[in-house]
């Protein structure tokens, strides 16, 4: 059964393998994973992004602060990723995942400029946001409705907890959630049905305007 799930979710499996390999490389070559190592490997840094290193809006999703951080994100990604990949398809999941990462890290760069951040959480929250979108647009589907309510509960609990735990990038999580929700509406989920073109257009407009506004804040 486990092998079958991996076959059904190759994108999810690949993302998990990549972040495990990169963490292993960091530990192997540097002996530890500290702020200096994370910064050199591509952690989100507002000053460096302002200097033109925009790739740091994506690279943080492959980096993790410690083994516990890596395990939690990998298990969560395995759980939500296979559902997203099943309902959206492979390439749509890739788009949702990395757009969520960009929005999460961009929001974090703007509103938490003095912090260094790393982790797949921004993109993972985007996947949860994508499923909430499914729950709204395809609420008549019993499976989707039940899962979306479960994931919504998970989102609320995590955001509340994030607000009281130091060192958690709450802004990045909310930004990723925002990006994933609207990007999911843009790409749609044909396997479930059609999303109204007006909703897709408005979602794309919201994303574009938000991206421009946040990007200008970094100038």
Where in the sequence numbering do the catalytic residues fall? 121, 173
Distance CA 175, CA 171 (A): 6
The full 3-state SS of 150-206, as one line of letters, equals HHHHHHHHHHHHHCCCCCCCHHHHHHHHHHHHHHHHHHCCCCCCCCCHHHHHHHHHH
Distance CA 105, CA 177 (A): 11
Q: 40: burial class by Cβ within 10 Å (0-12, 13-18, 19+)?
A: exposed
Distance CA 128, CA 85 (A): 12
Consecutive H or E run containing 206: helix 197-217
Residue of 110, 135, 21, 2 lying closest to 57 (CA atoms): 110
Q: 202: burial class by Cβ within 10 Å (0-12, 13-18, 19+)?
A: middle
For residues 115 and 172, the answer to whether their CB atoms sit within 8 Å is: no
């Amino acid at each position: 059964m486990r092998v079958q799930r991996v076959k059904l979710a190759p994108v999810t499996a690949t993302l998990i393998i990549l972040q495990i390999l990169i963490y292993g490389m960091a530990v192997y070559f540097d002996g530890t994973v500290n702020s200096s190592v994370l910064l050199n490997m591509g952690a989100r840094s507002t000053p460096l992004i302002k200097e033109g290193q925009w790739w740091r809006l994506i690279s943080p999703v492959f980096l993790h602060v410690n083994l516990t951080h890596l395990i939690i994100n990998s298990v969560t990604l395995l759980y939500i990723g296979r559902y997203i990949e099943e309902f959206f398809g492979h390439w749509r999941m890739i788009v949702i995942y990395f757009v969520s990462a960009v929005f999460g890290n961009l929001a974090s760069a703007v509103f938490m400029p003095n912090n260094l951040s790393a982790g797949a959480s921004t993109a993972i929250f985007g996947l949860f946001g994508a499923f909430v979108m499914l729950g709204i647009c395809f609420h008549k589907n019993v499976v989707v409705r039940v899962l979306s309510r479960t994931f919504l509960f998970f989102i609320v609990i995590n955001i509340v907890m994030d607000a009281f735990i130091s060192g958690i990038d709450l802004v990045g999580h909310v930004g990723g959630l925002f990006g994933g929700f609207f990007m999911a509406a843009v790409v749609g989920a044909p396997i479930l049905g059609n999303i109204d073109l007006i909703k897709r257009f408005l979602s794309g407009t919201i994303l574009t305007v938000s991206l421009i506004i946040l990007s200008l804040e970094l100038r």
